[in-house]
Structure 1
């Protein structure tokens, strides 16, 4: 996907594919095999057991990408929102309408007010596994509403502004932790619980902009340490504080989203700093990852439908006595089918609307970047 706001960074597409793939693996693991229960004994595969962390990667990437764009020049607020609506609304509305169609006999007119607020109250999208992922879109859209202001204030006031916001968020999280029966659910599924991930992504973009050359000189240590940080954090979560834990007042969750975003931001910076890979195999893998990233929005919102139909029609494939082999077989098949569906969805639902977008950053830097395209979902 191309736009005219920033030079194309194909590795952001790779990371979006990773984010969607983690969520797919997480849902397949629990929907097919483990039944939405914590599994501390298998924390070594915490990146699968707690693969919902792909959502945190999506949010961190959004903050990162849009902050890079904001550093190109002033953002025209109306055009920015116009582009964002064209980007996310068509497919989201399809999924939303699927949800109210599935529940047509219990539909109430008030359900329509859940459009773009699909994670508050009892939204129709949350009643079904196949539409449940839609909650993240309302969180992201709410971030879009305030992002141009956050970016302008961050650029004007510097790091003290960003750190001040993060400190206020921590205060609010402590209030939530003490006053809510299920604070993990609130931290997981609302903007107050997730805003720090967008903000940390914005901070990472500023570091990338200001220190890109220094990071390139230390690319491999940065990348490896970032990957280990993410792995270690997800091991810790799976071992001691699973999202599915019966203890809904686990203290780690007060700071979890920030820690999670910090790990992902570290990995993003390391991955972008790596030198280009050469060779036919590397080029083929890059093209595949770019394709996956380009269709990641459809892959994310529609993969649950594919999993449901796989289980209904094929059942859980278990041709070997080894769990991880069986899991891998099911995951590969699901990924192939999901990419086929996502490609079709991107072509007939997303792409026609993407062609209607306009440039919302007016500057020489943005104009120069326009010749190279843009990062995914810009």
Structure 2
């Protein structure tokens, strides 16, 4: 499958947005970037929508053609994609303490079992905490193939819509319950981070069951594309309208999240944001849309290396600040350039030395599997 420029641009925006948000680790990047820093966490939600759309399509298309689910192939492909770079960065975190952007770190077994987002003590163990989103993705990879298989045994639009409504409603109810009964009682206490803010991260922002909206909306796009191709074609013909609508919905979500931990955005903000981002992804999937035709130099490479950049950017920020923080303080554009160059260099190193070789190995394994299967059919 050829790469779609619009989706590459969205992926590049997502990772740059996240990195800007995490620049708070080094005091930010100046007033010019403040809007990006404030709402850059939304880049993770954009990654979720993209993942739901792309992974959903990979699984649903063969199932829609009557082919059997091959979970072993799927999990092996995901392992080649996710584990090598992750394990390398994880090993550095645990063998080189100076690499960490914060002193405390959760036990190794929680990273290896992808349970970090469910068990983290955020007050004391912030190092490599951005791996929480990878945990959500891994849980999605684990469950969704079987859910897709079950849903496609007897495809039903009513059953699918009912499941989607149930997932969104569950998120609304759980986030509302936790906010009212766990967060509200400690709101206003002196130690905000230890009480209200920490509970928000640990009990609402990180847990998988609270953050399914983005993945769900991505899967909805994939389902329309696979099972309702005529509807998908009509949507693609109006991709620019989807783009405008998506930008409008995201703007409303940004306005709603001005007070990020308040009750209203906590309850309804995530599905609203995911809807807007899904509209952008639908527009980006069209090569005829403004988004799909917009060629931004370097966006394709950033998209390809986005996973490595995500894994490595926080410790790189920390290392640069440790070495040159005093000289870069208050230097605006120069500081931004130094942090950016260091991060992209480290991301490129991780991508080309670790990530890409394993992706090539995966492709060779896949090609060999196909040849073996074809030979078996011929001989049979």
Sort the TM-score into its range (normalised by shorter chain).
0.7 to 0.9
1:144-293 paired onto structure 2 within 5 Å? 144-155=141-152, 156-158=155-157, 159-181=161-183, 182=196, 184-185=200-201, 186-209=203-226, 210=229, 211-237=231-257, 239=258, 241-243=259-261, 250-273=263-286, 275=288, 283=295, 285=296, 288-293=298-303
Of residues 56, 69, 72 in structure 2, which corresponds to 1:78?
A: 72
Per the alignment, do residues 153 and 79 of structure 1 end up closer, same or farther by CA in structure 2, a change over 3 Å counting? same
| Contact 1:45 1:235 (C-alpha < 8 Å) held by counterparts | no
- Once the two structures are TM-superposed, the CA of residue 203 in structure 1 deviates from its matched residue by 0.7
Distance in 2 between the 1:97 and 1:257 partners? Answer: 33
* Aligned-residue offset at 1:299: 0.6
Q: Which residue of 1 aligns with 2:66?
A: none
1:348 matched to 2:353:
yes
Number of aligned positions between the proteins: 332
Cα pair 1:92 1:137 within 8 Å, conserved? no
Residues 1:32 and 2:27 aligned together: yes
Q: Alpha-carbon deviations, 1:5-48, whole Å to 9, x = none?
A: x453343222221111001111115632399xxxxxx9995443
Q: Assess if the C-alpha contact under 8 Å between 2:256 and 2:265 holds in 1.
A: no
CA distance change for structure 1 residues 53 and 126 in 2, over 3 Å: closer, same or farther?
farther
- Bigger drift between 135-144 and 214-223 goes to 214-223
List runs of 5+ in structure 2 lacking aligned partners: 64-68, 184-195, 375-380
Indicate the structure (1 or 2) with the bigger Cα radius of gyration.
2
Which of 52, 57, 77 is 2:41 aligned to?
Answer: 52
Q: Are 2:112 and 1:94 equivalent residues in the alignment?
A: no
Provide the secondary structure at the position in 1 that maps to 2:61. Answer: coil
Task: Kindly indicate whether structure 1 or structure 2 has the higher relative contact order, using CA contacts under 8 Å at least 6 residues apart.
Answer: 1
Task: Note the C-alpha offset of 1:351.
Answer: 1.6
Q: 2:351 aligns to what SS in structure 1?
A: helix
Shift of the 83–289 alpha-carbon distance from structure 1 to 2, 3 Å rule, reads same
- SS of residue paired to 2:302: helix
Give the Å deviation of 1:359: 4.9
Matched, 1:23 2:27: no
Alpha-carbon deviation of 1:134? 1.5
Distance 1:272 1:230 in 2: 18
Describe the shift of the 1:125–1:335 C-alpha distance in structure 2 as closer, same or farther (beyond 3 A). Answer: farther
Which whole-Å deviations, capped at 9, do the CAs of 1:215-249 have from their partners, x for residues lacking one?
23322222123123223312331x2x225xxxxx6
Once the two structures are TM-superposed, the CA of residue 154 in structure 1 deviates from its matched residue by 4.3
> Contact between 2:106 and 2:125, CA under 8 Å: does it hold in 1?
no
Unaligned runs of 5+ in 1: 1-5, 36-41, 244-248, 320-325, 368-378
- Where does residue 39 of structure 1 map in the other structure? none
The 8 Å contact of residues 240 and 290 in structure 2, kept in 1 or not, is answered as no
